[in-house]
Structure 1
Amino acid sequence: MRERGALRTAAASAIAAVAAVMTAAVITGCGSTPLPQAEQTPGPSVPGDPRTQLAARAAAAKDLRHVASYTLKTPDRPDRTVLVSLAKDGGWLVSVPGTALGGTVDVALAQTGGALYQCALPSPNRPESGCVRVAKLTKAIDPKIQHLFTDWLEVFMDRRAALAVTVAATLPGVQGTCFSVDTSAVSVTSPVEAGIFCYAADGTLTGARIGAGTLVLVGTPTPAPPSITLPAAVGAGQPLPNASPSPSPSPTGSSAAGNPSRSVTPTTPAR
């Protein structure tokens, strides 16, 4: 009898212990505060790769309409002032002093009304002026600077273009973000000239370094004109080349009589 009583007492104690544990577990589960979940806070915005950044700045630059002035620095030459006009109707004009005929003539390249023009501007060595229509912009007459504001932007925007782009150190006196652009290893020729190109956040070109020299933005751009007005009358003739003219032969025959040579950029308006 005593053994049976002891067994009953032990069993009752075990059942009570199990019940106590289960009750405690239920109470703990109901009354405990769930662990706080880690908040999914977004991380800092990561800028795109240099190629993407350049494409974005070029897209913004393509939409700009203003007039901007730049200093053009070229080794062994005085600084020159380049004027860039990006008209509201999509036309543009870029004037580059000391470009044609070995750097002795100031010229402007302009696109307006669907046509391209080269204009010889009055300069100390050539006071006459005039514009001629350019059928094809060849290397012989290309001042290069206008590409920074026109067709090179299309290349920078094209992610398929074979370009190697890295972020570069800022050029002296230039603000904004600078990009070094070179030909990709898979490309034989580059659609743009290798160099450093710097842009503000709104797409304004703040500086560039290419073969023609280093360009630095001066001051703040001003509002754009409605359209481009050519700086001189349009006439018949050929554009002035960048190279120096060949030496004239010794006067003989009819040349000795004083017949003038024909100007490549006449000032007489075309009819």
Structure 2
Amino acid sequence: MPTGVHLRATRRRPTGLLALTVPLLLATGSPLAGCAADGTPPDPPEPASGTPAEADGARDELAALAAAAQDRHLTASYTLAVDGEASRTITVTSANDGTWRVDVPGWALGGTVDISLAATAEGLFQCALPSATRPEPAACVRLGDPDDTIPRRLDPRVQHPFTDWLDVLTDRQAPLAVSVSRPLPEATGTCYSVESTSASLNPPLDVGIYCYDADGTPTAVRTALGTLRLAAPPGPAPATVQLAGPVTEGEPLGTAVPPTPEEPATDPTTTP
């Protein structure tokens, strides 16, 4: 009889252990709860979003197009649209030898003088162009070496998308975030939104939207400056750019309006 009692006690132990184990498994989220009813393992989770890969792809695409733009030598006209101002036509020349010239109407001296910026083997130049408000012949002033930075007071900025900003767009180490953008109106090719990831007071380029054809032709740029759009199919590039006029010892022109000459004082006692 003692032996039978011992056996019955032994047989009850698995039941009590199972009663304790099932609630514990349910409470701790055991993998058993994730199994399908037929015993097959659950489907794997959905893969993470591909946004980082898409961003890297957009950055690579833009870098490749900017590199093609550096090798794209042409003569082209662009319409510059700025809110509250009449549209102007910017002429861009990228010569086969790497020299360049950008003509900007109505920029200097309060918008009364047309200028040209040019980089040649001899240096970086600003030229004042003849116009209806300035009938004098064109004359140029040397600003520095070809790769020098133009002082802010002399910088119209419209030349940057065709010159040094291309170096930034091809640099994978530059602090930029790039994504494919909705095309700008009347712009062909592919457009990219470019943001700065740096808190620097002097970002390497202006944030905005940059558009390129497959051959590297810049077709549109929208920044705080305004919107540049390719006005007509580009023409062939010259072998080298020519300055608009002779180099002089004069001073470069800024945007400030020149003072109005004072009228000569008259003697109130003088009678005609």
TM-score (norm 1): 0.72
- Aligned-residue offset at 1:182: 1.7
Matches within 5 A, 1:90-129: 90-128=98-136, 129=138
Cα distance in 1 for residues equivalent to 2:259 and 2:224? 24
After superposing on structure 2, the runs of 4+ consecutive aligned residues of structure 1 that deviate more than 6 Å are: none
For 1:209, the aligned partner's letter is R
Give the conservation status (yes or no) of the 8 Å contact 1:118–1:133.
Answer: yes
Larger radius of gyration: 1
- Aligned-residue offset at 1:198: 0.5
Alignment pair present for 1:219 and 2:227? no
Give the conservation status (yes or no) of the 8 Å contact 1:183–1:189.
Answer: no
Cα distance in 2 for residues equivalent to 1:112 and 1:179? 30
C-alpha distance 143-186 of structure 1, shift in aligned 2 (>3 A) = closer
Alignment pair present for 1:149 and 2:162? yes
Aligned to 1:173: 186
User: C-alpha offsets along residues 108-149 of structure 1, whole Å, 9 cap, x if unaligned?
Assistant: 100112401101111221111211111251000101011111
Q: The residue matched to 2:60 in structure 1 has which SS?
A: helix
Cα distance in 2 for residues equivalent to 1:111 and 1:229? 10
Aligned to 1:231: 244
**Which of 29, 47, 66 is matched with 2:74 structurally?**
66
Consecutive unaligned residues of structure 1, counting only runs of 5 or more, are: 1-45, 253-271
Cα distance in 1 for residues equivalent to 2:202 and 2:124? 25
> When the two structures are aligned, how many residues end up with a matched partner?
207
Consecutive unaligned residues of structure 2, counting only runs of 5 or more, are: 1-53, 266-272
- Aligned-residue offset at 1:188: 5.3
Aligned to 1:134: 143
- Aligned-residue offset at 1:251: 5.5
User: C-alpha offsets along residues 138-184 of structure 1, whole Å, 9 cap, x if unaligned?
Assistant: 00010101111110000001111001212111111111111111211
Q: The residue matched to 1:148 in structure 2 has which SS?
A: helix
Cα distance in 2 for residues equivalent to 1:247 and 1:51? 50
**Which of 205, 209, 228 is matched with 2:222 structurally?**
209
Give the conservation status (yes or no) of the 8 Å contact 2:55–2:177.
Answer: no
For 1:245, the aligned partner's letter is P
Q: The residue matched to 1:117 in structure 2 has which SS?
A: strand
TM-score (norm 2): 0.71
Alignment pair present for 1:78 and 2:91? no
User: C-alpha offsets along residues 27-72 of structure 1, whole Å, 9 cap, x if unaligned?
Assistant: xxxxxxxxxxxxxxxxxxx996211111111000001111111111
Q: Root-mean-square deviation (CA), in Å?
A: 1.9
C-alpha distance 246-181 of structure 1, shift in aligned 2 (>3 A) = farther
Give the conservation status (yes or no) of the 8 Å contact 2:81–2:88.
Answer: yes
Cα distance in 1 for residues equivalent to 2:88 and 2:111? 11
For 1:198, the aligned partner's letter is C
Identity %: 48
- Aligned-residue offset at 1:189: 3.7
Q: The residue matched to 1:145 in structure 2 has which SS?
A: coil
Q: The residue matched to 1:238 in structure 2 has which SS?
A: coil
